[in-house]
């Protein structure tokens, strides 16, 4: 059996650019790609926290240390500079690999500076 598992999540990054005329994709600071393990040209899912849009594209490398998150091409209609996004990449694992798999989770401040990284999401508690 194969299972699709979360590989990496970039949580609440701020869109810095939206380039409708660009060839396509999402440009992400190269240091962030390296930290998260997301490869250039890898398929990613983007979830726009501001408007609820969810779309698929691929990652391209932006200048290291730039903090750049540029949503390009047709996807530029779905995210504007200043929007908060969640970027996810997934991996297909066999059941043995899945038992030991831990995703890379990266959390940002409003300037796209890494605040922390983790390999687990806290357990969600029921609210009162």
Catalytic residues: 25, 58
CA angle 113, 86, 3 (to 5 degrees): 125
Which regions of the chain does DSSP assign to beta strands (E)? 2-14, 17-19, 25-29, 43-48, 54-62, 69-72, 84-94, 104-108, 114-118
Smallest CA-to-CA distance from 80 within 89, 71, 88 is with: 71
104, 36 contact by CB (below 8 A)? yes
Determine whether the annotation assigns residue 74 to a binding site: yes
Determine whether the annotation assigns residue 27 to a binding site: no
Smallest CA-to-CA distance from 62 within 91, 30, 38, 21 is with: 30
Determine whether the annotation assigns residue 73 to a binding site: yes
The radius of gyration of the chain from alpha carbons, rounded to an integer in Å, stands at: 15
Determine whether the annotation assigns residue 57 to a binding site: yes
Residues annotated as binding site for substrate?
57, 73-75
């Amino acid at each position: 059996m194969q299972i699709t598992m979360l590989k990496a999540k970039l949580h609440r990054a701020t869109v810095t650019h939206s380039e409708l005329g660009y060839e396509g994709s999402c440009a992400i600071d190269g240091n962030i790609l390296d930290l998260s393990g997301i490869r250039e040209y890898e398929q990613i899912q983007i979830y726009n926290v501001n408007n609820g849009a969810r779309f698929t594209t691929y990652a391209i490398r932006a200048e290291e240390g730039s903090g750049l998150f540029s949503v390009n091409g047709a996807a530029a209609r779905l995210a504007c500079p200043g929007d908060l996004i969640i970027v996810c990449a997934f991996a297909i694992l066999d059941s043995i690999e899945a038992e030991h798999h831990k995703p890379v989770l990266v959390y940002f401040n409003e300037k796209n500076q890494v605040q922390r990284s983790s390999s687990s999401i806290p357990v969600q508690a029921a609210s009162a």
